[in-house]
Amino acid sequence: MTFEQDTIVAISTPPGRGGIGIVRLSGPRAKEIAEPLLRLRHALAAGQARFAEVLDPDTGLVLDEAVVTYFQGPRSYTSEDVVEIAAHGSPVLLGAIVQACLDRGARLAEPGEFTQRAFLAGRLDLTQAEAVHDLIESSTLHQARVAARQLGGSLSRVLSPIKESLIQLIAALEAGIDFAEDDLDLMPQPEIAARIAGVEAPLRALADSYRYGRIVREGFTLAIVGKPNAGKSSLFNRLLQRDRAIVTAQPGTTRDPIQERLSLGGIPVELIDTAGLREAPAGPEGEAERQGIARSGAAMAEADVVLLVVDATDPDHGEAFETWSKLEGRAALLVVNKADLIAAPPAFPVPHRIVSAKTGAGVEELKEALLQTFAHAAPTGDSALITNLRQHGAIAAALAALSAAARALRETMPHEMLLLDLYQTLESLDSLTGATTADDILRLIFSTFCIGK
Ligand code: GDP
């Protein structure tokens, strides 16, 4: 079904020069607009790529050679007629092709409009449209895989039976009200309660998956803290596998937190190497270090995970234990470094990992342990993930309305009241996949897209 009457055009490949650049047209006049710009040996045919010469509309001379693919609606990305002209990737050339299309009556596409049309035509639901965006934005393969699962409809598949049971409950209650005089048995209270709980449990699991989903999408920050010379910079470099932080035998060299990004099991990690946790020397000479220490305290307070490094050869771990006790309740790992310098593992009263930043011993296990910090939040197998705040907000609203329904039931309110809350739940779930979405939500989502998508 086509909702839009105008034909849109945009450069769909990234800005700048490249081997190939693609101009995409979508809408009822896509083929009619594109054809006069091309000299084709064989006419455009649905689902087939054709070699073509692109003509300069001003001079009529050949401007480039291109491969042109025509997708006949509804079998296209947008469900409309689509023409893709893959020319050489020169911004000037692609700009000229777009201009020629505009001159022939196409309109420049708004950001995300191609995907929006796919949504409006019902080819993608909202969570899938968001997944297109996530897929393009992904910076690790793991993120891409999660987005691809969502694009494949994983979230919608999980939601649809939940919605189905909710609708069934609503229908049963409505029937009970409408046909009360006809002696139709009202659903007993415990059964209604059980059905509400049956909707709530999987929704709660989805809401909980956001903790991990957010980490997949945005990654986490990891602060490395500890006394000077414990080997923080060396461990930082080991984790990054290159020499970024300056390692010296002089205590107090790492003054400012140094940040780097790495991918740990496909999850982006912002690694922060901090100044040593200790008193800076008094007077002006200690100023730079004092500032560094203050900043490292802030980095530690804000980090999602803290690695506290201690030197295995250090006879005094009092300070480390004090820091460790302050980290209670946080995602934190205690790391005993310089394992290569000691004969026997130290007897530590708290759980710890033993590594050597110098030899690399224990570092792979440490990375594994770091990922495990979030593993309890990671859903298994092919299950769906809530990856953005909009989705999380919709599920949270659905859950809130559902608890209100459960309360109304406990307080033996009339079923009409209960129904209001259940409809509210349904509306929140609808806003997740887009069945009854208001225009402003749509605009919000598609405005984060760039032109040509
Ligand atoms: P930071 O002040 O905590 O950042 O510590 P550095 O990473 O600068 O290391 C301090 C000193 O300890 C340097 O001389 C490092 O070469 C040394 N060092 C760090 N890790 C190890 C290790 O695992 N084994 C050994 N033998 N020396 C290490």
Distance 248 CA to ligand 1 centre (A): 7
Predicted local confidence at residue 58, as pLDDT: 87
Residues 12 and 80 in one domain: yes
Task: Enumerate the H helices of 339-388 as residue ranges.
Answer: 363-375
pLDDT single digits (tens) 114-127:
999 998 888 888 88
Residues 70 and 108 in one domain: yes
Q: Is position 451 within any domain?
A: no
Q: What is the distance between the alpha carbons of residues 271 and 262, in angstroms, rounded to a whole number?
A: 7
Task: Enumerate the H helices of 37-122 as residue ranges.
Answer: 91-103, 113-120
Q: What is the distance between the alpha carbons of residues 189 and 184, in angstroms, rounded to a whole number?
A: 15
ipTM above 0.95, yes or no: yes
Which atom of ligand 1 sits closest to the CA of residue 251?
2
Cβ neighbours of residue 194 under 8 Å, at least 6 residues apart? none
Residues 296 and 186 in one domain: no
pLDDT single digits (tens) 263-275:
887 788 888 877 5
Helix axes 126-137, 141-151, angle to 10 degrees: 160
Q: Give which of 315, 361, 321, 319 is closest to 338, Cα–Cα.
A: 361
Please work out whether the CB of residue 153 comes within 6 Å of at least one atom of ligand 1: no
Residues 227 and 211 in one domain: no
Q: What is the distance between the alpha carbons of residues 65 and 52, in angstroms, rounded to a whole number?
A: 6
CATH number at residue 368: 3.40.50.300
In total, how many domains does the chain have? Answer: 3
- The DSSP output letter for 438 is -
Please work out whether the CB of residue 229 comes within 6 Å of at least one atom of ligand 1: yes
Residues 210 and 224 in one domain: no
CB–CB of 166/436 below 8 Å? no
CB–CB of 156/391 below 8 Å? no
Please work out whether the CB of residue 250 comes within 6 Å of at least one atom of ligand 1: no
Greatest pairwise CA separation for the chain in angstroms: 90
Distance 268 CA to ligand 1 centre (A): 26
Helix (H/G/I), strand (E/B), else coil: 201: helix
The H or E element spanning position 26 is strand 18-26
- The DSSP output letter for 277 is S
Residues 238 and 350 in one domain: yes
Distance 232 CA to ligand 1 centre (A): 7
Which residues form the domain of 209?
137-215+388-434
Residues 234 and 350 in one domain: yes
Q: What is the distance between the alpha carbons of residues 278 and 253, in angstroms, rounded to a whole number?
A: 12
Q: Is position 444 within any domain?
A: no
List the structure tokens of 78: 């947008």
Q: Is position 132 within any domain?
A: no
Q: Is position 430 within any domain?
A: yes
Q: Is position 443 within any domain?
A: no
Helix (H/G/I), strand (E/B), else coil: 242: coil
Distance 267 CA to ligand 1 centre (A): 27
Residues 80 and 163 in one domain: no
pLDDT single digits (tens) 329-360:
788 899 999 999 998 877 788 889 999 999 99
Residues 363 and 422 in one domain: no
Residues 266 and 367 in one domain: yes
Q: Is position 452 within any domain?
A: no
Whether pLDDT at 433 is above 90: no
Please work out whether the CB of residue 247 comes within 6 Å of at least one atom of ligand 1: yes
* Residue where one domain finishes, among candidates 326, 344, 373: 373
Which of 84-98, 112-126, 208-222, 239-253 shows the lowest per-residue confidence on average (mean pLDDT)? 239-253
User: CA 262, 265, 267, 273: dihedral to nearest 10 degrees?
Assistant: -40
pLDDT single digits (tens) 127-168:
888 889 888 888 778 788 888 888 888 888 888 889 888 888
Looking at residues 288-293, what average pLDDT do you find? Answer: 59
Residues 159 and 61 in one domain: no
Q: Is position 197 within any domain?
A: yes
CATH number at residue 33: 3.30.1360.120
Residues 175 and 300 in one domain: no
CATH number at residue 160: 1.20.120.430
